[in-house]
A and B are shown apart, each in its own frame.
Chain A
Amino acid sequence: MQIPHEVTARPDTGLYNSKLGIWLFLASEVMLFGGLFSGYIFLRMGAEPGYWPHGLLNVPVGTMNTAVLIVSSVTVVMAWAALKMRQFLQYKMYMLITIICGIIFLGVKLSYEYPQKFDHFGAFIRKDSLSKYEAYLGNEFLKSKNLDPRVEISGHLLDAPKGSPYEAVAKKNAEHFKHMLHEEGIGGGHGDGHGAQVQVQTEATDDYVIQLDPANARPTDPANEAPSFLPKKQTMMTAVVKAADVENASMFVPRHSPYFAIYFTITGLHGLHVLGGVLVFIYFWGPGSKLYQRNPEHLANRVEVAGLFWHFVDLVWIFVFPLFYLL
């Protein structure tokens, strides 16, 4: 039995079946992502001063991924247009480029961006202990400039309190840090070479030792407050933070802060959508393309529907990029 309006549009709606279906689906997706973006806005507006981080994401990498997705949107439209003009080889070529773009996006996200976050550590200092860490927080300076206070000491974890879930990561980082010190000729233990304060492990077992981010290493440097396109380089300075002075400490994972919770939720969900789109495109490029022999218009409709989904996914990223990476 032939399903009506599978290929040709219904006269009353002007849409064929799957196009109506995809728009209904995309309407539900708008509500899903709309709710999450609203959550982001309310979390950010409700954050206490100093508790919403800035400049933690790698802008050049995010920019590259944005460019990759824009290119993929262009190529998926080209693939659809090629089918409409019955140019099968061109369709295959453009679809392949779209698939490659999707894989590059996911590859960068999973192999570089996320692991970089999982490797980074932050300790929020208790409010009554902030003054003890003034050398790393610079709150007097920030107060004099009417800027939000700094409440977190972040960087690479080199030593963690006994029994902490981060002991293994700290050990691995400490080995790497010692290697870097050796290469720079600074030496192990305590020292001060090339302006670096070096202290990898402490006698006590309840301290965090952190290889500092520039904002904590030079807290009164005005450059820390200005947004920057290029990520700031890790310093060789370290700080010892007592576990008793820490309100919350974790790697840059969802439990770190509302910022990373919403970041991983939105980008993770977006990544799953990209993965879904890539799988559908792989099918249309491979076994699904046999439909061209029987009914090229039907294949063009399928590609159009998948292209609409892909454009929606890319549109979400067009909002994600400035919100998370720049603002």
Chain B
Amino acid sequence: MSLRAFHILFIALSVLMAAACSAWAFLNQAGVIFGGCSALVSVGLVVYGVRFLSKTRNIIV
């Protein structure tokens, strides 16, 4: 597995972690700002992952 592929896997797991943090914050009412920011980060990481895939398509590994 190349660094590019491992990076995508890492970003995918980070998205899941950020979504889980958001769920934790909202379900436990532990912090609305933290929950909202985590949700935004998970969406942002998805966008980043898609852009990363398209931009690094031409890199030969």
Interface set of A (CB-CB < 8 Å, partner B)? 23, 59, 63, 66-67, 70, 73-74, 77, 80-81, 84-85, 226-230, 304, 307-308, 311, 314-315, 318, 321-322, 326-327
How distant is the Cα of A321 from the Cα of B14 in the complex, in angstroms?
A: 11
> Contacts A63-B34, A315-B10, A326-B21 hold; do A85 and B59 have CB atoms under 8 A apart?
yes
> Contacts A85-B59, A315-B13, A322-B24 hold; do A230 and B6 have CB atoms under 8 A apart?
no
Q: Which residues of A contact B7 (CB under 8 A)?
A: 73, 77, 307, 311
Does B1 make an interface contact (CB < 8 A)?
yes
What's the dominant secondary structure at chain B's contact region? helix
Residue of A nearest to B35 (CB): A229
Give 28 CB contacts A-B under 8 Å.
A23-B1, A66-B17, A70-B14, A70-B45, A73-B7, A77-B4, A80-B3, A81-B56, A81-B59, A84-B60, A85-B59, A226-B28, A227-B24, A228-B30, A228-B31, A229-B25, A229-B33, A230-B31, A304-B2, A304-B61, A308-B6, A311-B7, A318-B10, A318-B13, A318-B14, A321-B17, A322-B21, A327-B24
How distant is the Cα of A127 from the Cα of B31 in the complex, in angstroms?
A: 35
Q: Shortest beta-carbon distance, A313 to chain B, in Å?
A: 11
How distant is the Cα of A318 from the Cα of B42 in the complex, in angstroms?
A: 13
Select which of A63, A311, A327 is within 8 A of B6 by beta carbon: A311
Select which of A59, A226, A311, A322 is within 8 A of B17 by beta carbon: A322
How distant is the Cα of A74 from the Cα of B25 in the complex, in angstroms?
A: 26
Select which of B3, B17, B20 is within 8 A of A304 by beta carbon: B3
How distant is the Cα of A66 from the Cα of B41 in the complex, in angstroms?
A: 12
What's the dominant secondary structure at chain A's contact region? helix
Q: Which residues of B contact A80 (CB under 8 A)?
A: 3
Q: Shortest beta-carbon distance, A230 to chain B, in Å?
A: 7
Q: Shortest beta-carbon distance, B45 to chain A, in Å?
A: 8
Chain B interface residue bracket vs A: 20 to 34
Pairwise interchain contact A226-B30, C-beta atoms closer than 8 A: yes
Q: Shortest beta-carbon distance, A30 to chain B, in Å?
A: 13
Q: Shortest beta-carbon distance, A300 to chain B, in Å?
A: 10
How distant is the Cα of A327 from the Cα of B17 in the complex, in angstroms?
A: 13
Select which of A84, A227, A307, A314 is within 8 A of B30 by beta carbon: A227
List 7 extra interface pairs beyond A23-B1, A63-B21, A326-B21, CB under 8 A: A70-B45, A73-B10, A229-B33, A308-B6, A315-B13, A318-B13, A318-B14
How distant is the Cα of A75 from the Cα of B21 in the complex, in angstroms?
A: 23
How distant is the Cα of A314 from the Cα of B48 in the complex, in angstroms?
A: 17
Residue of B nearest to A70 (CB): B14
Interface 1/0s, chain B 28-61, versus A by CB < 8 A?
Answer: 1111011000000100010010001000100111
How distant is the Cα of A327 from the Cα of B60 in the complex, in angstroms?
A: 41
Q: Shortest beta-carbon distance, A265 to chain B, in Å?
A: 21
Q: Which residues of B contact A23 (CB under 8 A)?
A: 1
Pairwise interchain contact A77-B3, C-beta atoms closer than 8 A: yes
Residue of B nearest to A326 (CB): B24
Q: Shortest beta-carbon distance, B31 to chain A, in Å?
A: 3
How distant is the Cα of A326 from the Cα of B48 in the complex, in angstroms?
A: 25
Q: Which residues of B contact A321 (CB under 8 A)?
A: 17
Q: Which residues of A contact B14 (CB under 8 A)?
A: 70, 318
